[in-house]
Amino acid sequence: MALQTSGLLFVVLLSCTAGIQLDGNGYTGVLFAINPSIPEDPALLQQIKNMIQDASVVLHGAVEDRFYFKEVTILVPANWTKGNYSRAKTETYEKANVIIDEPNKSYGDEPYTLQYGQCGDQGQYIHLTPDFLLDDHFIKVYGKRGKVFVHEWGHLRWGLYDEYSEEQPFYRSSDGKGTLEATRCSKGIKGRFCVMSGNTCSPCKNDPTTGLPTSDCTFLPSQDTSVKESIMSFQSLDHVTKFCSDETHNAEAPNRQNQMCGNRAALDVILKSSVDAGTPQLSTPISKQNTTIKFVQRKRRVVCLTLDVSGSMMGPRLALLRQAASLFLRTTVEDTAVVGIVQFSSSPSILKTLTVIDDGIFHKSADSIDSNALIDAFASLATSDGNLTQQTIQLESAGKRTTDWFNGTFSVDRTVGKDTVITIVYEASMPKVHITSPSGESFNHSHFNHDTQIRTLSLKVQGTAKTGEWHYSLFNQGPSAQSMAITVTSRAASAEVPPITVRAHMNQKSADGSKAMVVYAAVTQKGLPVILANVTATLESDTGHKEELLLLDNGAGADAFRHDGIYSRYFTRMKSGRYSLKVRVQNQGSAMLSAHKHSGALYIPGYVENGNVVLNPPKPPVSQQPVEVGSFTRTATGESFVVELPPGSTGPPAFPPSKITDLRATLEGENITITWTAPGESYDQGTASRYHIGWSEDLALLRSNFNDSHLVDPWELKPQEVGSTEQYSFLPHNLSMTNGTTIFVAVLAENANSLRSDISNIEPVVKFVPAPPPPVEEESTNVVAIAVGVSVAVLVIASAVGGFIYWKKR
């Protein structure tokens, strides 16, 4: 076993698959996993099988006979006992591409895909519920299950985005008339605008200011057509079986696909920019029989620790390894796991029985205790079968080299507190320890178990740890500086309340400097985004290079969506070396659970069939109100990654500003006002040098040749610091905007090295002149006529009365 390191390296061999592979034109390695909270049901397994087989045939036809599902594995829970399932080998719940679980509170039973990368980047997983798979009612509102799965596969595998929009369901086209259109692809899909009330459909009304339908208006697509596009828009329509191509794509629609993918067609992204780009067509037909499906079950996890005890590990490194391995075995690994240990020097030897597994996760750690990197790496091996309430959660991980005090705090929130363990490791002499709970209870070194051999102090808090802020103080009692570190782990306080969890990872495992890497941290509570938290990433290499990045959830730069609980940032100041990744999350009261949602299948409220409106039941409501989560702290460690810059590189690569993805444009009188989030000098770091603005009545020209558009030089606009809100107004010269005129606007940023960003999302501006109010002359004439009539009547009556009086006097 020939592994060479300049620092401390360990390899953990555990259940992990190589992921989805393309074998010829067939996908293999596709993994479904069922959450253990789902009751055992043979009908559910059969419906999953049916869906996969149907989806394989649909997929093959949707992408010009290129792809199908060849081998799919379904991992059933360990607590299922009725079926005859094969033994799982490398399959685990955490590695699943498709999860069958209870409804997410933001989505209900709506199928969705967790994706937060850029256009063309693969997503994380598809989420389906048992009710969606078992209740045929959902076929009417979402479409046939196989086609719905292909819609979600577009998100997961190819990084496509939805071609409908719940935020902007209507827009006015650039046909010169400002024709009202529903946001969709393709425009060939016809339908009816409708305000639904019970079982009736009434005509929509338009907002007099914008000219767009009011918020209660819905587009009902027609089933009476042969249009085949697009699966990313209306997968529920029987005749829709294709992805939009260049010929059928609706580039003007204000949807996520156009915003994220530069107005490109879905098929163009699949064939040119996805992980499967360049795949040739398959000449033979595909049927359901071409798909192999197997059911497997894992009874317990098998973990193998492979530890380096060679000469390079002597001294502090070996002591660190013993401390971290001991902590992992005592507090992190689940009770039912089987653990094997292999040590290697010049050759490997078995310390504990080892089950041979064929893949591993690598973690790189620093050499010093105060970095706590090795303990973090072991803690990151905590795995889950989908039952988050049994997962070990790391609340704190910090260290310091000092001659005196090391102080800090950590929070125990209401979602955790069970099996809370506080562990302190030190380098030379036992420190003085003082821990204070939120209730004022104090703990010192006498309350801890002390292992002098591995220099570790450990305290298991009895019962459920008190909710609130805990304070710790460690004092170095030795004659010289030493490193000390503290780690706090816990589990869910209740089986009914899932804990807040953090998952950290890079967008790729290696880099050569040709493009920046992205750091991601997903902060969630069983799929619900936790927003407005403070998230910091530390990236440290074996050569001593260390970077700290404040991760953002602002929908700009590396972050795809604002307030989706995914915090991200570009890593640009890279140097050659193997890096570790650690993320720390804190909340001092502002964080909350969000109902944010995107990348799901569209619920169709009704159809037009044979000229008649057929309504579906209203979509069940889901919670939309943010919920405060209280103070909490978390730490998480991602896999290590490698940077290998070209030979002779003297510093970090030069990168352009990041693409602006949140451009917005409005028409104010004759002026166009645009706003966007400022990018940086190098992607989302620093400050850009200048902006370039372009506009055109031709969207295709603006997109393909920005410099040939009408350029605006905002020389007086000095770019602000990255993340700031920019605003600029201009008057489009040599253009007379009349009612229905549409122009398109885009922005790009430039840095001091004259490197330009990609063109921003393209925003339309439509001139809308409200219809004049109905004329009042007719009403005035009527009033005058009435007045004249009344006057005449009065005169007639007066004359009659006068005549009568005159007659009486006679």
The set of catalytic residues is: 152
Q: Count the Cβ atoms, other than its own, within 10 Å of residue 536.
A: 16
565: left (phi over 0), alpha (psi -120 to 50) or beta: left
Cα 12 from Cα 15, distance rounded (Å): 10
Joined tokens for residue 119: 């256009």
Q: Count the Cβ atoms, other than its own, within 10 Å of residue 651.
A: 9
Cα 702 from Cα 651, distance rounded (Å): 35
- What b/e readout covers 478-517, taking b as 16+ CB neighbours within 10 angstroms? eeeebbbbbbbbbbbbeeeebbbbbbbbbbeeebebeebb
Phi, psi of 51 (to 5 degrees): -60, -45
Secondary structure of 196-236 in HEC code, one letter for each residue: EECCEEECCCECCCCCCECCCEEEEEECCCCCCECCCCCCC
Phi, psi of 28 (to 5 degrees): -125, 165
Select from 397, 579, 643 the least CA-distant residue to 9: 579
The helices-and-strands tally (H runs, E runs) of the chain is 10, 49
Residue type, 86: S
Joined tokens for residue 480: 């010289």
Q: Count the Cβ atoms, other than its own, within 10 Å of residue 6.
A: 12
Write out the E strands in 552-701. Answer: 566-571, 577-587, 592-593, 606-609, 612-615, 627-628, 632-643, 664-668, 671-677, 690-696
State CA 757 to chain mean position distance: 23
Residue type, 739: N
Cα 149 from Cα 385, distance rounded (Å): 23
Select from 198, 25, 17 the least CA-distant residue to 96: 17
* DSSP assigned state of 613: E
Residue type, 367: D
Alpha helices by DSSP H, listed for 10-128, are 42-62
Cis bond upstream, residue 230 (ω within 30): yes
Select from 670, 271, 586, 259 the least CA-distant residue to 397: 586
Contact between 361 and 12 under an 8 Å Cβ cutoff? The reply is yes
In three-state secondary structure terms, 395 is strand
178: left (phi over 0), alpha (psi -120 to 50) or beta: left
Contact between 703 and 758 under an 8 Å Cβ cutoff? The reply is no
Cis bond upstream, residue 186 (ω within 30): yes
741: left (phi over 0), alpha (psi -120 to 50) or beta: beta
| C-alpha triplet 797, 798, 800: angle, nearest 5° | 65
Residues 6+ apart with CB under 8 A from 670: 731, 737
In three-state secondary structure terms, 42 is helix
Cα 213 from Cα 210, distance rounded (Å): 8
Cα 90 from Cα 152, distance rounded (Å): 25
